């Protein structure tokens, strides 16, 4: 029997780091230099992992990060957070700590993954990988670099976040002897045997339901929470 799960994922970080671009790239594999969505709120996608069908609700900020006045409900109940900076802009990395602290005031349990986006031009890269790695380790978080523009590492970021939320181990080394089973139980068995080898269950996209503009609801939330933008 197929189990159903719903996961809420949110994005956080300064305006312009590529949050919307990353969500859209993951949702339907496209990229445009500039998105014109004014009330882009919710993107949905259904994937399957083992026998579980997972309905992803991926919430965009709808621009509230510009004034850092939050829709409080945005943080609440989220299972996973992509904390995003721009690898070409150190300031966007320096503000991650305050985004994280704002998140933790409302949500202590969400899994957070740090993402360095715009990793597509080595000449423009200005945030030192080692610095980010050190920060991520100090927070016991994972850190990955992506490009929404080229699509590099985007699926991997979402896969990693989803696996972390669901408690499915990531592979350190793929064990070919385990390679065709692909079930959680194998991974669990590997852990119980204290082996550092896991076979990842595949994540399969099932439906791409589109971008839903919930401007009516968002307007209400904005009103309720003194949304300033």
* CB closer to ligand GDP out of 65 and 186: 65
Q: Does 218 bind Mg ion (CB under 5 A)?
A: no
Which of 222, 180, 187, 219 lies closest to 67, judged by CA? 222
Instruction: Provide the 3-class DSSP secondary structure of residue 132.
Output: helix
Q: Does 92 bind Mg ion (CB under 5 A)?
A: no
Which of 47, 73, 55 lies closest to 6, judged by CA? 55
Determine the Cα–Cα distance for residues 91 and 107; give it in Å rounded to an integer.
24
Q: Which two tokens stand for residue 225?
A: 């929470």
* CB closer to ligand GDP out of 191 and 228: 228
- What does the angle CA 163 – CA 167 – CA 168 come to, to the nearest 5 degrees? 55
**Residue 117 binds which entry of ligand GDP, Mg ion, none, with Cβ cut-offs from 5 to 8 Å by kind?**
ligand GDP
Q: Does 153 bind Mg ion (CB under 5 A)?
A: no
195's CB contacts (< 8 A; 6+ apart) are 175
Least separation in angstroms between residue 144's CB and Mg ion is 19
Question: Which pairing describes strands 80-86 and 111-117: parallel, antiparallel, or unpaired?
Answer: parallel
- Local structure of residue 1 (DSSP, 8 states): -
Least separation in angstroms between residue 201's CB and Mg ion is 31
Least separation in angstroms between residue 80's CB and Mg ion is 18
Q: How many CB atoms lie within 10 A of CB 53?
A: 17
Least separation in angstroms between residue 19's CB and Mg ion is 5
- The residue within the footprint of Mg ion, chosen from 13, 20, 92, 149 (CB under 5 A), is 20
The residue nearest ligand GDP at its CB is: 18
Instruction: Give the interface with ligand GDP as residue ranges (CB under 6 A).
Output: 15-21, 33-35, 117-118, 120, 147-149
**Residue 17 binds which entry of Mg ion, ligand GDP, none, with Cβ cut-offs from 5 to 8 Å by kind?**
ligand GDP
Least separation in angstroms between residue 29's CB and ligand GDP is 14
Residues that bind Mg ion (CB under 5 A): 19-20
């Amino acid at each position: 029997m197929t189990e159903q799960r719903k996961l809420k994922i949110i994005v956080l970080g300064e305006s312009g780091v590529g949050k919307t671009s990353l969500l859209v790239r993951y949702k339907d594999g496209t990229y445009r230099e500039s998105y014109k969505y004014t009330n882009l709120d919710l993107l949905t996608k259904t994937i399957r992992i083992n026998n579980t069908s997972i309905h992803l609700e991926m919430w965009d900020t709808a621009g509230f990060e510009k004034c850092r006045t939050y829709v409080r409900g945005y943080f609440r109940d989220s299972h996973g957070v992509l904390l995003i900076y721009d690898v070409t802009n150190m300031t966007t990395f320096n503000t991650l700590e305050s985004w994280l602290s704002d998140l933790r005031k409302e949500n202590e349990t969400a899994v957070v993954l740090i993402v360095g986006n715009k990793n597509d031009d080595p000449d423009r890269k200005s945030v030192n990988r080692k610095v980010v790695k050190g920060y991520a380790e100090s927070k016991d978080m994972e850190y990955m670099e992506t490009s929404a523009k080229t699509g590099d590492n985007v699926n991997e970021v979402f896969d990693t976040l989803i696996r972390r939320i669901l408690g499915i181990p990531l592979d350190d080394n793929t064990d070919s002897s385990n390679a065709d089973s692909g079930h959680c139980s194998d991974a669990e068995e590997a852990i119980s045997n204290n082996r550092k080898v896991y076979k990842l269950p595949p994540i399969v996209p099932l439906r791409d339901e589109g971008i839903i503009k919930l401007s009516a609801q968002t307007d209400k939330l904005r009103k309720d929470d003194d949304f300033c933008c």
